[in-house]
Chains A and B, each alone.
Chain A
Amino acid sequence: MAVVWIPALIRPLTDGKSQVEVTGENVREIVEALEALYPGVAARIVEDDRIRPGLSVAVDGAVGNKGLLEPVGPESEVHFVPAMTGG
């Protein structure tokens, strides 16, 4: 199962858990699985059927921009982090 690192401000919805294991082949499925376990989480991460602007998803340390379609492996680590760009 993939390990999702739950952003600190969402942890009140996950009973304070900072990591949650769920199954999914891409980020959309991961978010759906999270929502099934902890209702309300999806709305904090997704808006208008995309990752919320200003947020990015890192799968195994790599930040793609396929958004919800980003593939997730069975052993993957998934992070939702503030988007960062350089100068």
Chain B
Amino acid sequence: MAVTEKAMHATNGHTSPPASKPADGYTIIGSRPVRPDGVDKVTGRAIYGADVRLQGLLYGKVLRSPHAHARILSIDTSKAEALPGVKAVVTGADLPTAADKVEDLGESAINLKYLSANILAHDKALYHGHAIAAVAAVDSHTAEEAIGFIEVKYEVLPPVMTVDDAMADNAPILLDGLRTDEMGEMGSKPTNLAKHFRHQQGDLAAGFAAAEVVVERTFRTETVHQGYIEPHTGTAQYNTDGQVTIWASTQGTFAVRNQTSEILRIPVSQIKVIPTEIGGGFGGKINVYLEPVAVLLSKKAGGKPVKLVMSRTEVLQATGPTSGSNIRIKIGADANGKITAAHAELYYEAGAFPGSPVGAAANVVLAPYAIDNLQVDGYDIVVNRPRSAAYRAPGGTNAAYATESVLNEIAEKLGIDQAHIRLINGAKQGDRRPDGVQHTEPIGLLETVQAIAESDHYNTPLTGKYQGRGIACGYWNNWGGKSSATAVLNADGTVSLNEASTDIGGSRASIAMQFAEAVGIGYEQVKPRVGDTDSVAYNDVTGGSRTTFSTGMAAHNMGVEMLSQMKERLADVWEVDAVEYADGEFSGGDNHISFQEAAALIYKTGEPLMVSSTVFPRSFGPGFSTQLADVEVDPETGKVTILRYTIAQDVGRAIHPSYVEGQMQGGVVQGIGWALNEEYIYNEKGQLLNGSLLDYRMPTALDLPMIETILVEVPYPGHPYGVRGVGEVNIVPPAGAIANAVANAIGSRMFELPMSPARVLEAMKE
């Protein structure tokens, strides 16, 4: 098979792990140590959400709506309650009345009424799979039988499934109170359009008038899911003293605490959230689904702990997905390929409640390029699909797919090389984002384009008739957010590092490395752990590519502070004015001792030493990525095979290069799935047809070549080690790169994602 013959190039002679050596000027950073939680994860000992085992544990199940849009007329739970082994049944009626008020719970703003209604439906079921009621029983089979005995009467309403459905005249209205918000001006009529906003700079008409070539295209992208392999879980115990303990597999324990507190009207002081290991999130494990329901069930069951675990079908029906979208892009360029004007209209499906990532998409859509005259219109639209959640650079992939496709059409019309047109237009320090905010610090977009243009891959010709090559660029703003941590100096010279960023992809390692670098001790001497919400100060979610950046900054600060305190303590003990620290040795007067000896001495001679740091960096370095895809299309079936794939990404500074590469490869492959085969398929009643991993087709190992990575390092000056977030931007370009490669291979362009075989075959006929 072509895919693997090609890919073999990548592995020949490269099967041993890359050498682990620090970057120039560092002792730890840039090396590739084994992660602290590694052994537990390869031996099966690591405890994930569903692995929590407690005395007297009850098992819960959720009854979900079979209808996409229906009024709930009545719910009768009496037969379920009567079933032997059933300990509690709850419905939306058990939820406290939620305020009709928008709150920012540390991640995204949402109306508390909607947040509550998504946990257990209030008066309406708004999507197939919307939670209606839940049961706790002595075992999962009993709980499952019990939900079958709950009788719900629905008045089925017509489903509203797409942007076009939702915006049609006389479209059924999902949310009675919803009015369009246009930058603070509220519409007067009931609507499904929650929000419209606009970025506008320069003179659009003049820009288009100055263009030699103008291309305008409309694109459609389908709903896709994050696809983490661990289904959502939630375990909770409501103690008789009113204290609540939640065991959560989440991207943010404090986000779980805040949301549960708001939904259940329980003060945060009464809620402790204990993080388990987390089996993937990608943005989808920030919203709570099960935790508040488990608390309600536990309370009703007399305080016994209750565990809820979703099936894969429930995960696909009721969690996650990111928005399907309609996107119109118009770009004009002069004869040299310089963009003179661009207009983007983004219509994003938020799912059942407002809050699609269209705001982020509006910033991504034109961001790689310096454009004087531009307009971006964003529309947030509710439809009868699950409430959308963040998904890795939320909204970015759809947006970049559209822009990058149009840009390549312009390059083709002008006869300009696809890398070159990106070099001509690429944004650099001093240029402005589409929303007008200036890049005041260095950014690495042009360096990533250059890296691709100079790569072996780009300079190796294609060899087959139906092969094609595509480039695309992408931007992600990244995030800072709040982080908190403590570090305790142990008598043996090790340091216990207590932080609260749940570790999804090796961040305990990258944080411990930054601490070790700051202190000048070995990585193995730092023992990081992720604490619960009672053990550290507030900490934002592991999301927005912020953890290695912000929590790493806190680790660095603690390292500096610990050294400073150790010097003071040693100065006291030695009765000297100043203590120096170099090459792992403290010296003052005639005294010279190692870090380990110093730790022992401090332990013996005074109070224990602990430092802490809380940070909230307001500035952070954005990420840029340029990617190159080679594909081959089977002209008789329309199937697209990825022959070769290279990603160049500005990573600022790679703390642990293996995990940086892993982020890049993983993001690319999620993007490949999005581009080629992943999509939500609904029937005319709005019921999800492909709610399984058989028919929701995420890439398998056999669908891919090796993913070649080029780590471009343009350090971000605002971070002590130059770190930029690396987790997200990698998913932005793939659909655009592949669309450009497919167009290059078959000579016609795809305006719809996914580019599944049937669609490619159709495009080839045209």
Contacts and interface: CB of A to CB of B under 8 A. Distances in A.
B390 A86 contact: yes
22 contacts: A7-B197, A9-B196, A9-B197, A45-B184, A60-B440, A61-B437, A62-B618, A77-B437, A79-B436, A81-B435, A82-B197, A82-B435, A83-B108, A83-B109, A84-B479, A85-B108, A85-B394, A85-B544, A86-B392, A87-B281, A87-B391, A87-B544
Interface in A51-87: 52-54, 58, 60-65, 77, 79, 81-87
B440 A61 contact: yes
Interface in B166-218: 181-185, 195-201
Interface in B380-412: 389-394
B283 A53 contact: no
A4 to B, nearest CB: 10
A60 B439 CA distance: 10
Contacts of A47: 184
B728 interface: yes
Contact of B184 (A44, A58, A77): A44
Interface in B92-129: 102-104, 107-109
Given A64-B618, A86-B390, A18 B201 contact: yes
B184 A43 contact: yes
B717 to A, nearest CB: 13
Contacts of B439: 61
A23 B181 CA distance: 28
B600 interface: no
Contacts of B728: 86-87
Contacts of A82: 197, 358-360, 362-363, 378, 435
Contacts of A5: 436
Contacts of A86: 283, 360, 390, 392-394, 476-479, 543-546, 725, 727-728
Interface string A25-61: 0000000000000000001110100001110001011
A10 interface: yes
B363 A10 contact: no
B202 to A, nearest CB: 9
B438 interface: yes
Among A44, A53, A81, A87, find the residue whose CB has the most chain B CB atoms closer than 10 A.
A87
Interface residues of A, number: 30
A70 B503 CA distance: 32
Given A79-B435, A84-B477, A87-B283, A8 B544 contact: no
Q: Which 5 pairs from chain A and chain B are nearest by CB?
A: A87-B283, A86-B544, A44-B184, A82-B359, A8-B200
Given A9-B182, A53-B109, A87-B286, 12 more contacts: A62-B619, A63-B618, A82-B360, A83-B104, A85-B108, A85-B390, A85-B544, A86-B360, A86-B390, A86-B394, A86-B544, A87-B283
Interface string B460-483: 000000000000000011111000
B619 A84 contact: no
A53 B436 contact: no
Nearest to A5: B436
Q: DSSP class of B's interface residues: helix, strand, loop or mixed?
A: loop
B187 to A, nearest CB: 12
Given A86-B283, A87-B544, A87-B728, A7 B437 contact: no
Interface in B244-297: 281-284, 286
Among B375, B390, B618, find the residue whose CB has the most chain A CB atoms closer than 10 A.
B618
B676 to A, nearest CB: 20
Interface of B: 102-104, 107-109, 181-185, 195-201, 226, 281-284, 286, 358-360, 362-363, 375, 378, 389-394, 435-440, 476-480, 543-546, 616, 618-619, 725, 727-728
Contacts of B360: 82, 84-86
A6 B480 CA distance: 25
A5 B196 CA distance: 18
B437 A58 contact: yes
B394 A87 contact: yes
B359 A83 contact: yes
Among B183, B185, B199, B394, find the residue whose CB has the most chain A CB atoms closer than 10 A.
B183
Given A53-B103, A64-B618, A86-B283, A10 B183 contact: yes
Contacts of B198: 7-9
B677 to A, nearest CB: 21
B429 to A, nearest CB: 11
Contact of B284 (A62, A63, A83, A87): A87
A7 B200 CA distance: 8
A44 B390 contact: no
Contacts of B480: 63
Contacts of B195: 54
Contacts of A64: 618
Contacts of B725: 86
Contacts of B286: 87
Contacts of A87: 226, 281-284, 286, 389-394, 543-544, 728
B184 A52 contact: yes
Contacts of A10: 183-184
A84 B409 CA distance: 30
Among B185, B390, B393, find the residue whose CB has the most chain A CB atoms closer than 10 A.
B185
Contacts of B727: 86
A58 B479 CA distance: 13
B585 to A, nearest CB: 39
B479 A85 contact: yes
A16 to B, nearest CB: 11
